[in-house]
Amino acid sequence: MTSASLARASALALAASAFALPALAQTAQLDEIVVTAERRESPLQRTPLSVSVAAQPLLSGAGVVDIKDLAIVTPGLLVASTSNQTYTTARIRGVGTVGDNPGLESSVGVVVDGVFRARNGVALGDLGEVVRTEVLRGPQSTLFGQNTSAGVINVVTAGPGFDFGATGEVTVGDHGTRGGSISVTGPLIEDRLAGRLYAAVRRRDGLYDVRTGNGPRTETDDQNEAYETVRGQLLWTPSATISNRLSADFTHRDERCCIGVQQSTGPTAGILALLSPDGGVMNPADPSARTGYANRDTNTRIKDGGVSLHTKIDTRLGLVELTTAGRQWRAVLSQDWDFTSADIAWRPDDGSWSNRFRTFSEEARLTGSRGAVDYTGGVFLLRETLLRKDAFLYGSAYEDYLGRVLTRSTANPVGLAGYVSTLTGLPVGQSFVAGQGALDTYEQTATTAALFGQTTWHATDKLGLTLGLRYSHIEKDLDARYTNTDGGKACAAALARGVVNATICLPWANPAFNNLSRSEGLTDAGWSGLARVEYQFTPAVLGYVS
């Protein structure tokens, strides 16, 4: 994690506000587009930020249902997954945090209806009835806080209405795509209480074929889609100056992802062919065949849910907004670790490889205007708990594969069977027993507290000066526990015989990590800020230096 101190580099931006819109949305009337990019409603053409806006007609027409699809309608946005759908990261203008460690915090923040999502992958779900999306480019730390050094994806969804309405949608496409959604809204108590309910189901067959060798995997396709989501909302307006929006949502996913497709065939292909009836890998490689090899499952089971309460109170000082939210997200995963159909190494889907986030956040914000001055200020609190379990288990061919790799040569490209036993002195098949390996647990807690404020002085009808400041205090604690279920016996036996071999003593097989615990803590605090001069050259052209 970088220091919370952040200084903006000076930049000059001069562009028509229309340039901040996707090309397909430029037919919309600019004076009708209102955004909340600066945590207050303002016309897009008077918002001094680089922001792309996509409204509901464009989103539905392009088939956008999650943040991955936003790249279709948002220039400069890339959202991609790595070894698993849960490891999804967003990049804006090529900048973003990429990696499979859930402890890595995003540099592109995702905010849905004012609630910050813990990671980009946690935010990968059906967005529901989206009114608009705003993709803010560049650092946004003053108003949005940490993890926004590259930008923010701000999603605004439809709330309950006092006029009855209902919508439905059915989708059918190639690769067995089918799905649908339904929404209904209307009054429950006239002028006081309204509700909204949204539900969706999505299905799609796998995009890749899978060769499974001797199994035990039985599924012959991968990267399918299968999830259900439901969201309910209540809007209570006890008076003309107070509104309360209560939201609750739940999503369940049960999918398979992600096998690997070869770009080339390596020198150990001959060994893999001995260990699997279908060759282990494609030889020669052909990425266009969209075929992968995996004898173990690649399941992704996700449960994601949360509750939030957003209260608005109109006062003489301005609009007071209180947002309280609690969310939980859990993913139970499995993986064919070697990406071949040979049974070398794997991660089971019994919960020993899983990630769980629990977050509780509270934000209080005041937004108002006095004469020529606009102001926004508030306080933000976040408590986040991450529980990660990781596993690396030996397959039935791990020992044989390792020995052959260590002894392969030009004269003998498939190496020698039983070589590991020679190094360890243990019987053949007993150095690395199938189903044994490493089981690790990491638990991290993070507490964030921040004070922020931003003020704009409109010196004239065209000239504005903005100053913003944020102070953040962050505390993190990490407890890690490492376990080798077999005690790392192969490595220990080899070392006892005076054999030093790094391949035998890889981290998941090293007795130094057996029953090892480690705790670490981090405290960080600092200031971030904004200074900006803006000038409205014409109703549609705004220039600013920040």
Hey, what amino acid is at 477?
A: D
- Is pLDDT at 462 greater than 50 in this prediction? yes
Q: What is the mean pLDDT of residues 413-417?
A: 92
Region of poorest pLDDT, from 140-154, 419-433, 505-519: 140-154
Q: What is the pLDDT of residue 60?
A: 86
Q: What is the pLDDT of residue 26?
A: 42
- Is pLDDT at 6 greater than 70 in this prediction? no
In whole angstroms, give the CA distance from residue 432 to residue 376.
Answer: 61
Q: What is the mean pLDDT of residues 446-458?
A: 97
Contacts of residue 115, defined as CB under 8 A and 6 or more positions apart, other chains included, come to: 306, 308, 323, 325, 327, 361
Q: What is the pLDDT of residue 27?
A: 42
Region of poorest pLDDT, from 21-25, 212-216, 486-490: 21-25
**Which is more confidently placed, 510 or 22?**
510
Tokens describing residue 316: 């003489």
Cα distances from 2 to residues 116, 144, 146, 149, in angstroms, run 19, 16, 10, 10
pLDDT digits (tens, 9 = 90+) for 18-60: 333 343 344 444 456 888 989 998 888 889 999 999 998 999 8
Tokens describing residue 241: 């100056």
pLDDT digits (tens, 9 = 90+) for 215-239: 999 999 999 999 999 999 999 999 9
What does the angle CA 534 – CA 535 – CA 539 come to, to the nearest 5 degrees? 125
State the DSSP string of 356-367: EEEEEEEEEEEE
In whole angstroms, give the CA distance from residue 18 to residue 29.
Answer: 10
- On the question of a cis peptide bond just before residue 505, with omega within 30 degrees of 0, the verdict is no
Q: Is the dihedral of CA 97, 103, 105, 111 positive or negative?
A: positive
Q: Which domains does the chain have, with CATH numbers?
A: 12-545 (2.40.170.20)
Q: How confident is the model at residue 346 (pLDDT cuts 50, 70, 90)?
A: very high
What is the rounded average pLDDT for all residues in the chain?
90
Q: What is the mean pLDDT of residues 81-106?
A: 81
Q: What is the dihedral of CA 45, 48, 54, 57, to 10 degrees?
A: -20
Q: What is the pLDDT of residue 68?
A: 86
The beta-carbon contacts of 117-120 under 8 Å, at least 24 apart in sequence, are: 117/327, 118/327, 118/329, 118/357, 118/359, 118/384, 118/386, 119/357, 120/67, 120/79, 120/88, 120/89, 120/90
**Which is more confidently placed, 283 or 20?**
283
pLDDT digits (tens, 9 = 90+) for 434-444: 999 999 999 99
Q: How confident is the model at residue 501 (pLDDT cuts 50, 70, 90)?
A: confident
Q: What is the pLDDT of residue 1?
A: 39
Q: What is the mean pLDDT of residues 268-295?
A: 95
Q: How many CB atoms lie within 10 A of CB 171?
A: 16
Q: How confident is the model at residue 3 (pLDDT cuts 50, 70, 90)?
A: very low
Tokens describing residue 131: 């009114």
Give residue 176's region: left, alpha or beta (phi > 0; psi -120 to 50): left
Q: What is the mean pLDDT of residues 345-356?
A: 96
pLDDT digits (tens, 9 = 90+) for 103-113: 888 889 999 99
- On the question of a cis peptide bond just before residue 216, with omega within 30 degrees of 0, the verdict is yes
Q: What is the pLDDT of residue 172?
A: 94
